[in-house]
Amino acid sequence: MIEKGLIQIYTGTGKGKTSAALGVALRATGHGNSVLLYQFLKSPTLQTGERTALKDANLNITVKALDTEWDMRKSLKDPQVLKKTRTEILHVLEEISKAAAEGNYDVIILDEILFCYSNRLVNYEHLKQLAEQKSENVELIFTGRGADKKLIDLADQVSEIKNIKHPFKDGVKARKGIDF
């Protein structure tokens, strides 16, 4: 059990926000804590290295994902997908809020929730309510682009990961085992 759970944010335009949160997850489980990693906008069918590794390692990390197929280039332009995604996010946040309030996990990571927030798939009040209702021993971590001043003020720790140089600009595609 964590003595005092805080609210962390990993945001910015750079690569590594999820990786930073996963580092906390590994550290937490190494000390006997339980972790929920909830991945928003990374559907359950998406095969990522972190999901495979976490499953194979049999750590005390529960991985869940929003059951919505999401395409980063197309979905923001599709009103039906947006409506369905908003509804599902609100339902999931209710479940996560309950788990956080009851202390069912020591660390709860909401991966890409800040992208959802910055694209109006969830509003500030929902995230604030989650933060206010969590058990005092639960560490809450938000990742993704788009943390604004209100969310930064809500958090105890904020790290901005800045993109200085990225191989995508030179035409290098996402690499299996490195980028996913």
pLDDT digits (tens, 9 = 90+) for 26-66: 999 999 999 999 999 888 888 888 999 998 998 999 999 99
Residue 155, SS3 per DSSP: coil
Residue 88 lies in a domain: yes
Residue 148 scores a pLDDT above 80 = yes
> Are 104 and 138 contacting, i.e. CB atoms less than 8 angstroms apart?
no
- CA torsion, ordered 86, 87, 88, 90, to nearest 10 deg: 80
> pLDDT band at residue 71, thresholds of 50, 70 and 90?
confident
pLDDT at 48: 87
Residue 177 lies in a domain: no
pLDDT at 174: 85
Residue 84 lies in a domain: yes
> pLDDT band at residue 175, thresholds of 50, 70 and 90?
confident
Residue 180 lies in a domain: no
Residue 58 lies in a domain: yes
Residue 145 scores a pLDDT above 80 = yes
Question: Residue 151 is part of which domain span?
Answer: 7-170
Number of domains, the chain: 1
Residue 179 lies in a domain: no
Residue 72 scores a pLDDT above 80 = no
Strand partners, 143: 10
| Mean pLDDT along residues 122-139 | 97
> pLDDT band at residue 69, thresholds of 50, 70 and 90?
confident
pLDDT at 137: 97
pTM of the complete model:
0.92
Residue 1 lies in a domain: no
Identify the residue whose tokens are 């020591």. Answer: 106
CATH code where residue 11 lies: 3.40.50.300
Residues 6+ apart with CB under 8 A from 78: none
Beta strands (DSSP E) in 12-138 are 35-39, 61-65, 107-111
Residue 76 lies in a domain: yes
> pLDDT band at residue 70, thresholds of 50, 70 and 90?
confident
pLDDT at 23: 97
Residue 115 scores a pLDDT above 90 = yes
